[in-house]
Amino acid sequence: MQPCFGQRSSSTKLHYDRFHVGQTWLDSKGDTINAHGGNIVYYKNTYYWFGEKRDRHHSLGVSVYSSKDLYNWKPEGLALAHSKDTTSDIAFGGIMERPKVVYNKKTKQFVMWFHVEVRGKGYGAAKVGVAVSKHITGPYQFIRSFRPNGNMSRDMTIFVDDNGAAYEIYSSRENYDLRIVRLTDDYLNVTTKDSLLFAKHREAPAIFKYQKKYYLITSGCTGWAPNAAALRVADNLYGPWKLLGNPLKGKDSNISFYGQPTYFFPVPASSGRLRKKSVQSQSQSPSPRFIYMADRWNPKNLKDSRYQFLPVTLTPQNEMPIEIKWQDSWQLN
């Protein structure tokens, strides 16, 4: 295995100059990054990575890391902790999954949505939770958890459109349905604009918009075990969603390279400037516009689940307009 980072001593720091896909990824303190099923927010020239903090089997809340280059991450602590109140829906013993943080320009607040399962009820509660903070790293204040318009809500993501309208896309009816609901303008609640997208037993939704079209990837429903992803395209978020097939290509693409989709991160155009000259001079192709983020789950030790950050190739003129290929390691340029 190739060395992932420079030697660590009192004078040298850990330093990555590329993504090592599916490998153990250490933070700036030398601990394994613990941020599963999450998303990345770019704010004031810094990237913030939110994700599920896990021990072997428990959910430990939502952690947050910061970075200047997307390779090297500094731990910023817990963005959202479990509640000490044992009657709370987010009491320890319950589960917080797939946290997604978005910034609300009107209220100037960061809002976190996440899948909530309540202590002692397994995956039976099927709720979504909302928490809010004025500071990106938190601490986020838990506001509420509920089933959107009475519908079960398990795997989910949040999407903010160009006009600032935000939506929750969520697996419902025991994951048989994928639904969408528009959020209120402050992003703190749902509206009744809630609709079925398709009933195909899918989970792990991740979405992006490119050239006025929406692209939505989902996984099948096999718990922690990997399966084939499927891409759909639509001109309108409420559908119709046309099935395009599996955008992952190459060996093990039928089981998503042993991973499961989490998020498409839109790489800001300025990120090229963050790179060192030496790296830039080696570069042949431009930065990807989107990074496909996925989790390689380890159900025996969830904390040790790995990350798969891969570049998305966009070819909108093709029948399959996006392609995600495995790479052991890669650089932004």
Verify binding: residue 98, ligand GLA, rule CB under 6 A. Answer: yes
Q: How many residues bind ligand GLA (CB under 6 A)?
A: 9
Decide whether 111 or 206 has the Cβ nearer to ligand GLA. Answer: 206
Q: Beta strand pairing status for 156-160 and 166-172?
A: antiparallel
Are 125 and 146 contacting, i.e. CB atoms less than 8 angstroms apart?
no
Q: Which of 27, 97, 168, 177 binds ligand GLA (CB under 6 A)?
A: 97
| Residue 224 engages ligand GLA in binding (rule: CB under 6 A) | yes
Closest to ligand GLA by CB, 6 or 223: 223
Q: Is 82 in the site for ligand GLA (CB under 6 A)?
A: no
The reply on whether position 153 binds ligand GLA by CB under 6 A is: no
| Residue 274: Cβ within 10 Å count | 15
Place of tokens 């790293």: 137
Minimum distance, C-beta of residue 25 to ligand GLA, in the bound complex (Å): 19
Cα 277 → chain centroid: 30
Binding-site member from 63, 169, 203, 214 for ligand GLA (CB under 6 A): 203
Q: Is 316 in the site for ligand GLA (CB under 6 A)?
A: no
Identify whether the C-beta of residue 181 lies closer than 8 Å to the C-beta of residue 168: yes
Q: How far is the CB of 57 from ligand GLA (least distance, A)?
A: 11
Q: Which residues pair with 112 in a beta bridge?
A: 101, 131
Give the one residue of 223, 240, 245, 316 binding ligand GLA; rule: CB under 6 A. Answer: 223
Please tell me the distance from the alpha carbon of residue 174 to that of residue 134, in angstroms, as a whole number.
Answer: 34
Verify binding: residue 250, ligand GLA, rule CB under 6 A.
no
For residue 225, the minimal CB distance to ligand GLA (Å) is: 8
Q: What would the x/- binding string for ligand GLA be over residues 265 to 304, using CB under 6 A? A: ----------------------------------------
What is the rounded distance in angstroms from the CA atom of residue 114 to the CA atom of residue 154? Answer: 9
Burial class (CB within 10 angstroms; exposed 0-12, middle 13-18, buried 19+) of 181: buried
Contact partners, residue 116, CB within 8 Å, separation at least 6 = 89, 90, 94, 95, 96, 125, 127, 128, 129, 145
- Residue 288 near residue 309, CB atoms below 8 Å: no
Q: Is 168 in the site for ligand GLA (CB under 6 A)?
A: no
How many Cα atoms within 13 Å fall on the side-chain side of residue 229?
32
- Residue 155 as a binder of ligand GLA (CB under 6 A): the answer is yes
Nearest CA among 208, 226, 215 for reference residue 308? 226
Instruction: Tell me: does residue 260 bind ligand GLA (CB under 6 A).
Output: yes
Minimum distance, C-beta of residue 97 to ligand GLA, in the bound complex (Å):
5
Cβ proximity to ligand GLA, 35 vs 267, nearer residue: 35
Q: Which residues bind ligand GLA (CB under 6 A)?
A: 37, 97-98, 155, 203-204, 223-224, 260
